[in-house]
Each structure stands twice: as structure tokens, then as C-alpha cells.
């Protein structure tokens, strides 16, 4: 059965898209730990980051870097934190989280539930500053 992220890639489930090319997709986390929390995924469905082939692994990180460099212009922060967990969705994803404090990247605290309007607004802001 395809993962929920493959279903997003295939357009069966909507997402707040940030960027896409033929191999990778970036979209907002629906239950962010901080405003602007973005997920970056390979379109190739591989559960575990370190099981990606080298080309996909490096491509994913370079794609994530482009998003991370743009994020602070859209969501003011001290820096962008990077985490890979994968305990919930078995499809490799890099979490990019705009950070102002350590608490902003604490995945143990209750997640935010910003609602569609707020997600639409922040996605637009990030897309605008992407070069």
C-alpha cells in the first residue's frame, strides 16, 4: 500500500506545496512543531533515509538546503533546524523547522494545529521568497 506521502505526490491527498521537481517535493507539515515547519521528501518511496541510494540522498539534502536557505525570509527565525525521525510515516522525510528556541524543535510537545487558512498564508510566503 502506498504511503500517505506517495498519495500526496500522486495528487490523491492535498498538501500545501512549497517546491517540487521531478525527484523531490517540499510541503508544509500539517501539524507543525513551529510555524513554517516544512517536510522535504524524495518521490521515490523509501522508508529509511540511510537506505536511499547516494544520488537520491544527496539530491534530497540539496533540495532541502534550497528551502532552508529561503525559510528565514518568510518566517523570521534564528536558524532552520533539521530533523529526520520517520516513526510515523514510513517514507523518508526531512523536517525543516524555523527555530527561535530549542522548544521550537521539541517533537515531544503537543503539535500545533494552525488550520488551513494559516497554512495557506505561510506556504504562499515561503514560495514567494524561494529563488
Q: Among 29-37, 47-55, 96-104, 122-130, which window interacts with ligand AMP (CB under 6 A)? A: 29-37
Q: By C-beta, is 18 or 74 nearer to ligand AMP?
A: 18
Rounded CA gap, 66 and 113, in Å? 26
- What are the grid coordinates assigned to 2, written together? 502506498
- Side-chain-side CA neighbours of 109 within 13 Å: the count stands at 10
- Taking residue 38's Cβ as centre, other Cβ atoms within 10 Å add up to 28
| 85 interacts with ligand AMP by CB under 6 A | yes
Residue 65, SS3 per DSSP: helix
Q: By C-beta, is 59 or 86 nearer to ligand AMP?
A: 86
Rounded CA gap, 58 and 49, in Å? 11
| 87 interacts with ligand AMP by CB under 6 A | yes
Catalytic-role residue among 16, 37, 93, 95: 93
| 29 interacts with ligand AMP by CB under 6 A | yes
The residues binding ligand AMP (CB under 6 A) are 4, 13, 15, 29-31, 39, 85-89, 93
Amino acid at each position: 500500500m502506498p504511503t500517505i506521502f506517495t498519495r500526496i505526490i500522486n495528487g490523491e491527498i492535498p498538501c500545501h506545496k512549497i517546491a517540487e521537481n521531478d525527484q523531490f517535493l517540499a510541503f508544509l507539515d500539517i501539524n507543525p512543531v513551529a510555524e513554517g515547519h516544512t517536510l522535504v521528501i524524495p518521490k521515490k518511496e523509501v522508508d529509511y533515509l540511510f537506505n536511499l541510494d547516494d544520488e537520491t540522498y544527496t539530491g534530497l539534502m540539496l533540495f532541502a538546503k534550497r528551502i532552508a536557505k529561503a525559510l528565514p525570509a518568510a518566517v523570521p527565525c534564528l536558524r532552520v533546524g533539521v530533523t529526520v525521525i520517520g516513526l510515523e510515516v514510513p517514507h523518508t522525510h526531512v523536517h525543516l523547522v524555523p527555530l527561535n528556541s530549542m522548544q521550537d524543535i521539541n517533537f515531544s510537545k503537543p503539535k500545533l494545529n494552525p488550520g488551513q487558512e494559516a497554512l495557506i498564508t505561510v506556504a504562499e510566503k515561503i514560495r514567494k521568497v524561494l529563488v
